[in-house]
């Protein structure tokens, strides 16, 4: 009789988790991937700092283990058990008030400046993740795989390597542009040996780099789309780490992120004006009318272009600002939701001021409005210079709102450009362009507006996108296979 396989115990360490603490895609992944892993057969503990928002959301979390100070700057802390947040997924909160009990963004203060002690804050998160992985027998929850995410937890594999841990580790890169770099002088106070400050250790151009340390010393590297996995091995996208990633390419894998198809489902979405599906797309128009009314846009039949994005150079926000007047001159209306770099926020607000009734800009983030833009816009704009995966283009496809994207990273993996050939074979789902320029963006928008005037082909394009599935099941199976390859029997 075949022995039943025991579930793999995964400690999933993250600096944020939606909906409680979220600044970008990492929060969404931390909320959605662990439940999918549990459905695939894993037992998962998600470790997140106990920020004020987490303390408020889980006031009854109980102490799971108390951990003494592990280094000069890593004080005594506790891990609290907040209970199950999904079947097979338990939330653990790292409680250290001196490091995490502060208002606002997890990474920056109210002026947008990085917290002065981020090196100690996320050094502690990484160290505790490593400690939990190595002391599972004592705590009662042995860890089979330690899964770290971005630079905030990427120092954990360094602790494993230099302090004698043997739990296999995975580092997922959600955005290679953020390294977590700090002065060399921090090493001793983090409890790491100085012998690790080498090119093949934790050193990066004379500084300590959390992300470089993780990429150098973990057992496997993943990133959030196959195309991005290839791109980051090039000088254009490698952010100075392309040489290391080429060196470790045999241990690098691109696994496309998914989306929560229950939360983002136009057929059942409680946040939109009128629910619809691929067979009732006529109802989508009611969402456009409601969105215009809500945001003070002129009524009419002009194509409505939607943007939900962090305002930054990476996202191509400057291209949208530069060409905004031209978009309006084409006859389009534009609705923007997002925040980010202050000059870009001001430029978008000025754009709206110049075009009352044609342009709406909301600075900040509003989950309800994000859903209503996905449902109410005719076309979604996402001209990112680079995009590791991207989620909004998948939301847009699901909502029958064909996206315009730059052909990079996960955008290239998820959107099929509408050409004569792809329209003929029915595979087209949106529009893509290659060069990060205003001219290329406008040319792509013109193509989209031309097709929008062809109701038959436009409806075909909408339905093709809505029929694509981007749930987490496939990604979870790929992660499960990766975990299995790291277990002692596989080794």
Sheet holding 8-13, edge to edge: 62-67, 77-86, 89-95, 42-49, 8-13, 145-149, 169-173, 220-223, 252-254
Query: For residues 192-230, b (16+ Cβ closer than 10 Å) or e, as one string?
Result: beeebbeeebbbbeebbbbbbbbbbbbbbbbbbbbbbbb
Q: What is the CA radius of gyration of the chain?
A: 23
Q: Looking at the predicted structure, is the pLDDT value of residue 35 above 70?
A: yes
Which domains are assigned to the chain?
Answer: 8-258+473-486 (3.40.50.2000), 281-466 (3.40.50.2000)
Per-residue model confidence (pLDDT) at position 488: 86
Per-residue pLDDT tens for 256-273?
A: 999 989 889 999 999 999
3-class secondary-structure state, position 91: strand
Band of pLDDT at residue 58, cut at 50, 70 and 90? very high
What are φ and ψ of residue 130, in 5° steps?
-65, -45
The three-point CA angle 223-92-45 to 5° equals: 50
Per-residue model confidence (pLDDT) at position 104: 81
Per-residue pLDDT tens for 288-306?
A: 999 999 999 999 999 999 9
- In DSSP terms, 168 is beta-bridged to none
Per-residue pLDDT tens for 86-112?
A: 999 999 999 999 999 998 889 998 888
Per-residue model confidence (pLDDT) at position 365: 82
Average confidence (pLDDT) over 72-82? 97
Q: Looking at the predicted structure, is the pLDDT value of residue 490 above 90?
A: no
Q: Looking at the predicted structure, is the pLDDT value of residue 61 above 70?
A: yes
Q: Looking at the predicted structure, is the pLDDT value of residue 1 above 50?
A: no
Average confidence (pLDDT) over 58-68? 98
For 338-342, 357-361, 435-439, 477-481, which range has the lowest pLDDT when averaged over its residues?
A: 338-342
Average confidence (pLDDT) over 339-347? 93
User: 3 among the known binding-site residues?
Assistant: no
**DSSP one-letter code for 84:** E
**Mean pLDDT of all residues in the chain?**
96
Instruction: Mention every residue, 6+ apart, whose C-beta is less than 8 A from residue 155.
Output: 122, 123, 126, 127, 180, 190, 202, 210, 213, 214
**CA nearest to 442, candidates 347, 331, 336:** 331
Per-residue pLDDT tens for 374-393?
A: 999 999 999 999 999 999 99
Per-residue model confidence (pLDDT) at position 113: 87
Per-residue model confidence (pLDDT) at position 324: 97
The neighbour count for residue 358, using CB atoms within 10 Å, is 19
Percentage of the residues of the chain whose pLDDT score is greater than 70: 99
| 415: its two tokens | 């959107």
Band of pLDDT at residue 4, cut at 50, 70 and 90? low
d(CA 208, CA 186): 8
Q: Looking at the predicted structure, is the pLDDT value of residue 2 above 70?
A: no
Per-residue model confidence (pLDDT) at position 199: 94
| 273: its two tokens | 């004006």
Q: How far is CA 14 from the centre of its chain?
A: 11
């Amino acid at each position: 009789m075949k022995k039943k396989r025991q579930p793999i115990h995964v400690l999933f360490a993250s600096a944020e988790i939606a909906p409680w603490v979220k600044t970008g895609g990492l929060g969404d992944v931390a909320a959605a991937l662990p439940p999918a892993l549990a459905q695939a057969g894993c037992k998962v503990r998600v470790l997140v700092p106990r920020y004020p928002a987490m303390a408020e959301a889980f006031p009854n979390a109980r102490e799971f283990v108390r951990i003494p100070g592990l280094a000069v700057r890593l004080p005594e802390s506790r891990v609290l058990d907040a209970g199950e947040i999904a079947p097979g997924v338990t939330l653990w909160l790292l409680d250290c008030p001196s490091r995490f009990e502060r208002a606002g963004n997890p990474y920056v203060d109210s002026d947008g400046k990085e917290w002065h002690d981020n090196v100690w804050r996320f050094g502690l998160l990484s160290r505790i993740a490593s400690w939990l992985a190595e002391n599972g027998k004592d705590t009662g929850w042995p860890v089979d795989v330690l899964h770290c995410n971005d630079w905030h937890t990427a120092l954990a594999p360094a602790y494993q390597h230099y302090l004698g841990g043997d739990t296999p580790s995975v580092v997922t890169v959600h955005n290679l542009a953020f390294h977590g770099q700090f002065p060399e002088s921090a090493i001793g106070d983090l409890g790491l040996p100085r012998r690790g400050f080498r090119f093949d250790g934790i050193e990066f151009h004379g500084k300590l780099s959390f992300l470089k340390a993780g990429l150098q010393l973990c057992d496997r590297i993943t990133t959030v789309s196959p195309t991005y996995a290839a791109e980051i091995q090039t000088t254009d996208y490698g952010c100075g780490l392309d040489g290391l990633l080429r060196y470790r390419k045999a241990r690098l894998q691109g696994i496309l992120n998914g989306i929560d198809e229950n939360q983002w489902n136009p057929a059942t979405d409680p946040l939109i004006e009128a629910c619809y599906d691929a067979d009732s797309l006529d109802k989508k128009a009611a969402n456009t009318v409601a969105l215009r009314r809500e945001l003070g846009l002129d009524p009419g039949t002009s194509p409505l272009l939607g943007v939900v994005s962090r305002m930054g150079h990476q996202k191509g926000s400057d291209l949208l600002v530069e060409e905004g007047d031209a978009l309006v001159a084409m006859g389009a209306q534009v609705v923007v939701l997002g925040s980010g770099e202050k000059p870009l926020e001001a430029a978008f607000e000025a754009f709206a001021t110049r075009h009352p009734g044609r342009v709406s800009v909301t600075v900040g983030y509003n989950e309800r409005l994000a859903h209503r833009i996905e449902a109410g816009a005719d076309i979604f704009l996402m001209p990112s210079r680079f995009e590791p995966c991207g989620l909004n283009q998948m939301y847009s496809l699901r909502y029958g709102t064909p996206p315009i994207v730059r052909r990079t990273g996960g955008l290239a993996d998820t959107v099929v450009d509408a050409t004569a050939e792809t329209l003929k074979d029915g595979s087209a789902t949106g529009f893509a362009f290659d060069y990060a320029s205003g001219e290329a963006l406008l040319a792509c928008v013109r193509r989209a507006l031309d097709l929008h005037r062809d109701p038959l082909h436009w409806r075909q394009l909408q339905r093709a996108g809505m029929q694509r599935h981007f749930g987490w099941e496939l990604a979870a199976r790929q992660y499960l296979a990766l975990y299995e390859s790291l277990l002692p029997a596989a080794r």
